[in-house]
Structure 1
Amino acid sequence: MLLTILYIIGITAEAMTGAISAGKRKMDWFGVMFVASVAAIGGGTARDMILGHYPVGWIKHPEYIIITCAAGVFTTLIAPWVARNQRLFIALDSIGLVVFSIIGSRVAMDMHLPAIICVIAAIVTGIFGGLFRDLICRQPPLVLHKELYASVALFSSSLYLLLHWYGIEETIAVIATLIAGFSLRIIALKFSWSLPVFHFEQEQTEQQKDTKKK
């Protein structure tokens, strides 16, 4: 029950941020609803398709599509308020990321898949919605360029699996993972933590330089 409530909060927040991205690209209401839904439930859909876990989440629970579409359209009416309250949505997004990670792990665990696959399922669930949103809106995928995001999904999934390994009761494992994953995400944002960046620019060959000079 707790995970379900937090999941609905998470997909609503993701849908609203997706709608804002669509608005920046001047999309119509269909585009807004599409991007909002992709941002919110795209990760879970990708996970289910990769794992062969059917029916896909939003087909089993069509109310999730209604929630994301409604959140997207509603955002068009309160866009200035959403923009002014970025911190709130960062917090909700962080909760959603950890919840998505736990759910992704749980789905793979219920299919009796190896631990490494459970972690991958968590990462896919947590980040692919944002990836799809950014690709559709033709902007660099933020989850791969800036703050810790996929790393938080990896950490949350690993902690959740570890707690299960030691026989910790489900509710306690979920709450502990939520607190730890959320704290890591917020602290990483506050102190601008990020993974090392690989930056490569190919040097021009002497022949290319000579050609340009000519």
Structure 2
Amino acid sequence: MCVIACVTALGGGSMRDVLLGHYPLTWVVHPEYLAMTAGAALLTALCAHRLRHLRKVFLLLDALGLVAFTVIGCKVAQQMELSLPVIMITGVITGCAGGVLRDVLCNDIPLLFRSELYASVSVVTASVYLALDDFTGTSNLAVPAALAGGLALRLLALRFNWQMPKFVYRGDWH
């Protein structure tokens, strides 16, 4: 369980750091991130039998991680003075990759590859953050607005089962 938790929490940032050549990896510089993640996983394992709505708790935490890591990824790419498209993609990779790695390790189809609003929430979160950061010139408004907007969108999508359209092939080509 600790391995899955650490891969989920640190995988997106690690992938971002490797792709951008941002060394050493963030969790290597800040090993407390690894310790906090492992501690949270152990605490969750100990308390799991008491959590009646465990699935909802995990979905909420996953949504929080998605939007928070998206904004963190954008901020790291901004600090590296990368172009706007690269900043956006970096945010989405940071937000989504940990969850993809978790799902693959758990032998599940990653949420990213289903019709759920997941990567699109990350894109919206990054867009709100970058637009407000550019418009206001500060992240003081951009960060909380992006986090609140992205979290609200993801939770509403879960609550009302909003999904992306999917291509369905029917019939022969001729």
Q: TM-score when scaled to structure 1?
A: 0.74
Deviation at 1:160, TM superposition (A): 0.8
Does the C-alpha gap of structure 1 residues 76 and 88 become closer, same or farther in structure 2, counting only changes over 3 Å? Answer: closer
**1:185 is aligned to 2:133:** no
**1:76 is aligned to 2:24:** no
For the residues of structure 1 that align with 2:46 and 2:74, how far apart are their CA atoms?
A: 35
For the residues of structure 2 that align with 1:86 and 1:137, how far apart are their CA atoms?
A: 15
Give yes or no for contact 1:33–1:72 (8 Å, CA) kept in 2.
Answer: yes
Counterpart residue number, 1:43:
12
For the residues of structure 2 that align with 1:188 and 1:79, how far apart are their CA atoms?
A: 25
Q: 1:140 aligns with which of 103, 109, 113?
A: 109
Deviation at 1:119, TM superposition (A): 0.9
Counterpart residue number, 1:94:
63
Give yes or no for contact 2:115–2:166 (8 Å, CA) kept in 1.
Answer: no
1:147-168 CA distances to partner (integer Å, 9 max, x unpaired)? 2111011011111111122134
For the residues of structure 2 that align with 1:140 and 1:82, how far apart are their CA atoms?
A: 25
1:117-145 CA distances to partner (integer Å, 9 max, x unpaired)? 11111111111111111111212112321
Secondary structure at 1:53's aligned position in 2? coil
For the residues of structure 1 that align with 2:102 and 2:35, how far apart are their CA atoms?
A: 18
Q: Identity percentage over the alignment?
A: 40
Secondary structure at 1:113's aligned position in 2? coil
Q: 2:133 aligns with which of 155, 164, 170?
A: 164
**1:124 is aligned to 2:69:** no
Counterpart residue number, 1:28:
none
1:43-63 CA distances to partner (integer Å, 9 max, x unpaired)? 110011001111211001101
Deviation at 1:83, TM superposition (A): 5.8
Counterpart residue number, 1:107:
76
Larger Rg: 1
Q: Where does the alignment leave 5 or more consecutive residues of structure 2 unmatched?
A: none
Q: Where does the alignment leave 5 or more consecutive residues of structure 1 unmatched?
A: 1-31, 204-214
Does the C-alpha gap of structure 1 residues 76 and 107 become closer, same or farther in structure 2, counting only changes over 3 Å? Answer: same
Alignment coverage as a number of residue pairs: 172
For the residues of structure 2 that align with 1:138 and 1:184, how far apart are their CA atoms?
A: 27
